[in-house]
Chain A
Amino acid sequence: MPRAIALVDCNNFYVSCERLFQPRLEGRPVVVLSNNDGCVVSRSPEAKALGVKMAAPWHLMREMAKRHGIIACSSNYALYADISNRVMRLLARFSPHQEVYSIDESFLELSGLPGDHIEYACHIRQTVQRDIGIPVCVGIGPNKTLAKLANHVAKQEISRGGTCDFNRLSASELDDLFATLEASEVWGVGRRTADTLKELGIHSVLDLKHASLHMLRTRCGVTLARTVHELLGRTSLELEDVTRSRQQIICSRSFGRLTASLTELEQAAIAYTTRAVEKLRQQGALADTLHLYLRTDPHRGEAQHEQASMVPLSSASDDTRRFCKAALYALRRIYRHGFSYQKVGVALGGIRPLQAHTVSLFTDDETERRSRMLMKTMDTINQRMGSGTLKLLGEGLEQAWAMRSDNRSPRYTTEWSELQTCRS
């Protein structure tokens, strides 16, 4: 028996989340836009059929959207994150071994489970659809790369059940199928690699499978060689069941409009830093450096300014106030008067788990204890009363620069004041 790994992937996840609480969107062309309503990040099948491309800039397609009645939603990450957590916890029931791969994808080990894998996959689909209301497709293969490719096939032919098991196909059937798939559909083959492959005469997945490993290794790097290894049915990527704690936490957004004001930039820097450090505490970690990044709008012909700055902290911390001080210091260092800025980004580095932090005799325990209590109180209040209830004044009370999200749906599952209403 070959190994059986399943990849469960939610279909156009963000759109599906919006439809769950707005059933009138069902059957209509819907897209979800990125932060700041910049470009398309999720498309309903109806929108795909109209030729809407992934990452298409929204301002360029307003005309077409009007003509076809395409509905655009601003992204509602509070909702997507909660629904994602529900899906992942539900999926965990179906296998003793799960790797949550992204917000809408999870690998499940099916090897050794009794019964027919396709039937099991159908059962998984139906359960997620019924219990949470999110449509998923399931691909099964002997390793992660093939499971992901099988999922792609399952998605192409949703009418055939939304499942696909490569382990059921004979070697020749599999090769016939691979000949019809483009190499760029393979996990880990990005656009650049795909271009290189084309130059080498490799177009289909079958071409890639039969390519010389040695040549690929020298021309495209060792990662691709590993991928081809998996296409041949061997395993080189194991399931990682422990969610790796992130090495870097980033919070960056474009502004709703350009700004030249240092005060506004400071507010944004503090708001993003606050958010990043909140994430840091959520994952129970400490960080010891702050990176701040500032840039003007590259799509405008005016003079450009772009610069980053790094500030190390004297000791690892998870105190918002310390990071905000560092952020303001960094910002004042790189800010140049007379430019209109479009974006500020904040990243935390040197992340380590809280447990690994050794309390030194030379640090002031009392200050640290009080800082931790204050942060915990802030987090609790913000969780209970809604995020942003309690914030540093430096963020500003009215954030004129804040990002545009003209069409964000209510946070149906994370805010008491925004529940869906049901007519009776």
Chain B
Amino acid sequence: MHQSAFHFAARTRLPHQATLLSLMHPNRTLFEKQRALLRKAVPAGFPSPADDHVERRLSLDEHLIQHKESTFFMRVAGHSMRGLGIYDGDLLIVDRALPARDGCVVVAVIDGEFTLKQLCYTAHGRVLRAAHPDYPDVPIAEGTDFAIWGVVQWNVHKV
């Protein structure tokens, strides 16, 4: 639509502009170049019948990120979450704005170190649970230097 309108304008206006240019422009070569540019401006053609149906292409950012400001990426190191399909080297999409509910996979900080675990509310209080038989539950005892850094919303795994 847009392109063909421009093409039309360029063609009809060319003769007037050409006269004007040749009168006032001392630099012939530059003038020729500009005229050539106008001529080759846009190829003619029918407007695409799909023009009316153009929609925005899907964006992974939009799909995976709920809160732009509070979402961060991290890299997994280790195997303790294999049972939940989170493998060594995977890419985590972590949102700090989400509440850490029972069963959420969280990035937690224990004694100043990042750790990836599932947060579980049990009869004996909260525990950090691995998804691997070799790793026991870590209870969050009173007075532990502990904080939830963010909630893992997605895991990106290379197939």
Contact = CB atoms under 8 A, between A and B. Distances in A.
Contact of A130 (B25, B96, B116): B96
A262 B13 CA distance: 54
A89 interface: yes
B149 interface: yes
Contacts of B77: 421-424
A83 to B, nearest CB: 10
Q: How large, as a class, is the contact surface on chain B?
A: 35 or more
B68 to A, nearest CB: 7
Interface in B77-103: 77-81, 86, 88, 91-92, 96-97
Given A131-B70, A361-B34, A366-B33, A423 B96 contact: no
A419 B75 contact: yes
Contact of A131 (B96, B112, B114): B96
Given A130-B97, A362-B27, A422 B70 contact: no
Contacts of A132: 69-70, 96
Contacts of B25: 361-362
Interface string A329-369: 00000000000000000000000000000000110111000
A82 to B, nearest CB: 10
B20 to A, nearest CB: 10
Interface string A25-46: 1100000000000000000000
B80 A364 contact: no
B42 interface: no
A24 B147 CA distance: 12
B114 A23 contact: yes
A424 B37 contact: no
Nearest to B108: A422
Given A23-B112, A23-B113, A424-B78, A419 B69 contact: no
B73 A419 contact: yes
B119 interface: no
Q: Please report whether the interface of chain B is mostly helix, strand, loop or mixed according to DSSP.
A: mixed
B6 interface: no
Interface residues of A, number: 25
A92 to B, nearest CB: 10
B72 interface: yes
B76 interface: yes
Contact of A421 (B74, B111, B130): B74
Nearest to A420: B74
Interface in A109-131: 130-131
B140 interface: no
A424 B70 contact: no
Contacts of A130: 70, 96-97
B30 interface: yes
Given A361-B25, A362-B30, A131 B115 contact: no
Contact of B21 (A361, A366, A413): A361
- Give 3 closest A-B pairs by Cβ, nearest first: A24-B112, A131-B70, A424-B116
